[in-house]
Amino acid sequence: MNHKLLINDLSAFAMDEMIPIVVCTIGSPSLAVLEASLLAYAPTTWLYLNEVERTTFGQSYNAAMRAAFQDHEEIIICNDDVVLAPDSLKLLLEDVIHLKSHYGDKLGIVAAMADNARDCQNVRRTQETHCREARAVSPIFAWVSRAAFNEVQFPPLNWYSDDVLCEDLFRLGYRHFISRSYVHHAGSQTIGTDHEKLNAEAIPWLIANRPDYVRQWFQGRESK
């Protein structure tokens, strides 16, 4: 597993240690644009760029996060098909600081808004821009702690991996939030655009491993 580091600090945000942005990539066409935005808007942050074998979204991200958590208590995970805005990192970390003061060790995932994401954090489908709680979020650009990761990791899925992770953590008492932060998300660069196929691949695992989630999520609808 390869990684490259951009080293400095985030002392302006009063954090106990540097928080790395962890990018898990299989060579997305958007990667060069992401790297340019990181250099422009987050140049003082550790950046782990993990090149992984294509397996599933969940397995790949577990590997990248596991590597980063060897050295850090908290990280920001980042898809390889996003582009940061000038204040993406600043707003995310400000919201994390505020939320940690209220929820402490039970703060789950704090995720940025995007223009290609689930409805509750999709800027094209919601008018809400304040930091707010959500039962599930898509960790396109998101803060997460080692403590939460040690309790629950991504399942070996492409679709629904984030839903399972969030619900597993929620049932352990963790609370998830959508930050005021925003990133542009090209979307579907890493797992493809055949949504019918992705959905069909995930259902057998969900039925076998989380049957109560299937009843909760699919009652009255057929797809994600």
Per-residue pLDDT tens digits for 121-152: 999 999 898 999 999 999 999 999 999 999 99
- CA 123 – CA 56 distance, rounded (Å): 27
**Residue of 93, 91, 176 whose CA lies nearest to 130:** 91
Please state the domain extents for the chain.
Answer: 11-189
For the chain, which ranges sit under pLDDT 50?
1-16, 222-224
Length of the chain: 224
Per-residue pLDDT tens digits for 75-104: 999 988 899 999 999 999 999 999 999 999
Provide the sign of the torsion angle of the four alpha carbons 141, 154, 151, 208, taken in this order: positive
The top-level CATH class assigned to 11-189 is alpha beta
The CB-based long-range contact list for 12-17 (8 Å cut-off, 24+ gap) reads 13/90, 13/93, 13/94, 13/97, 14/97, 15/93, 15/97, 16/73, 17/72, 17/73, 17/74
Task: Report the pLDDT value the prediction gives residue 203, as an integer from 0 to 100.
Answer: 93
- CA quadruple 172, 113, 187, 151: dihedral, nearest 10: -20
